[in-house]
Amino acid sequence: MLDRFTFPGLTTRVVFGRGTLAQAEAEITRLGHSRVLVLSTPHQAAQAQALSHQLGRLSAGVFAGAAMHTPTDVTEAALAAFQGAGATAVVALGGGSTTGLGKAISTRTGADQVVIPTTYAGSEMTDILGETAGGQKTTRRDPSIRPEVVIYDVDLTLSLPVPLTMTSALNALAHAMEAFYAPDLNPVVDLMCREALRAFHSGLPVLAGDPHNPQARSQALLGAWFCSVALGSVTMALHHKLAHVLGGSFNAPHAETHAILLPHTTAFNAVAVPQALAPIAEVFGGPPGAGLWEFAKRINAPMRLADLGLTEADMDRAADLAVQNPYSNPRPFDREAIRQLLQDAHQGRKPQT
């Protein structure tokens, strides 16, 4: 029962709907900027150029070099482009990689951020930045990292490939799962997470067969926003630690890694906090971990870390890295327990109660 809590509030302005990309210029002007650098990955360079053209005189150009896990050498190159263009703000168009680059620039320069997500990854509503250097990913929180404006345009997700739709959504669901047992959970985030479960549970099976369905896309994007608020409001634990280890040290793809780990980390912690994770069992059926595993299988999400190219030796090293620094988790663990969890995820076994 959440009868004592602190709600930190929501400081990021959100614009949600269909066709809301058209409001980017007004949002930039409202923040008081006249020159912005548009960011994207190489894959979304054409979209970024189109947005730059749409912004006209407000655009100081495009940097289309954002990369997974926010490598610091990419950030340095983007900083040079930002300063060379005389920009005072950034517009990040894309998924978690582009959002991360915008945050990295902002925390170093004080620049405002307008984020336009095209996936469900969920880092846009947070003050969290994960950066990779020398094969290690480090994560920190700071008010300077949190974006000023997020524009959710449902239309931008209509063309999201089905495989990425599923992995990105399960990535988002991981934020809700860990929020349920967070020591700083509050009723607002709890309600948003419960609604996110329902939104994804009903929306994703529809999108598996009809990826351009606007109503299901709207449901999924709303669920992603709810999960992003959770990620930015409360403390994450074991699941996110393992995902960062696999991503930062083995360059495992972010969304796929989260998706594969989710049933296993859920099952692991459900042993200690079954009531906290009861909302997952209620929506997805069965024990929470098994229910999520069955759902992931139903929507054809990836099931095995081995399919991402990770080896048994990688699992050994990942287990070593995961226990190096102590952190909060509802169920105590040691290296052996983490190694077994990773083995189950590596082979794609159905979690046992």
Question: pLDDT tens for residues 221-264?
Answer: 999 999 999 999 999 999 999 999 999 899 999 999 999 999 99
> Is 165 exposed, middle or buried, given 0-12, 13-18 or 19+ CB atoms closer than 10 A?
buried
Answer whether 109's CB lies under 8 Å from 79's CB: yes
Tell me the pTM: 0.94
Q: Which two tokens stand for residue 18?
A: 């269909």
Indicate the Cα dihedral angle 294, 301, 304, 42, nearest 10°: -160
Six token digits for residue 64: 């289309």
Q: How many CA atoms lie within 13 A of 133 on its CB side?
A: 10
Q: What pLDDT score was predicted for residue 304? A: 98
Amino acid in position 83:
Q
CA angle 333, 178, 107 (to 5 degrees): 105
Fold entry, domain 13-157: Rossmann fold (3.40.50)
- CB 179: neighbour CB atoms within 10 A? 27
Nearest to 121 by CA among 238, 322, 257, 302: 257
CATH superfamily placement of domain 162-347 = Dehydroquinate synthase-like - alpha domain (1.20.1090.10)
- pLDDT recorded at residue 352: 86
**Cα end-to-end distance, the chain, whole Å:** 25
User: What is the structure's pLDDT at 98?
Assistant: 98
DSSP 228-269: HHHHHHS---HHHHHHHHHHHHH---HHHHHHHHHHHHHHHH
Residues whose CB is less than 8 angstroms from the CB of residue 60 and which lie 6 or more positions away in sequence, other chains included: 35, 36, 37, 85, 86, 87
Q: Is 304 exposed, middle or buried (0-12, 13-18, 19+ CB in 10 A)?
A: middle
Residue 184 to residue 180: CA distance in whole angstroms: 10
Query: Which pLDDT belongs to residue 331?
Result: 97
185 and 236 in contact (C-beta within 8 Å)?
A: no
Let me know: does 130 contact 138? Beta carbons within 8 Å: yes
Q: What are the residue boundaries of the structural domains of the chain, listed by start?
A: 13-157, 162-347
pLDDT of residue 136: 84
At 282, phi and psi to the nearest 5? Answer: -65, -40
pLDDT of the residue at 81: 98
Nearest to 90 by CA among 107, 111, 74, 104: 111
Please report the DSSP string for 99-133 in residue order: HHHHHHHHHHH--EEEEEESSS--GGG-SEEEEEE
Half-sphere exposure of 98 (CA within 13 A, CB side): 29
Using CA atoms, how far residue 161 sits from 207, 211, 212, 262, in Å, is 10, 8, 10, 21
C-alpha distances in angstroms, 270 versus 171, 180, 181, 279, 281?
A: 18, 11, 9, 11, 10
Q: Give the pLDDT score at 21.
A: 98
Residues of the chain where predicted confidence (pLDDT) is lower than 50: none
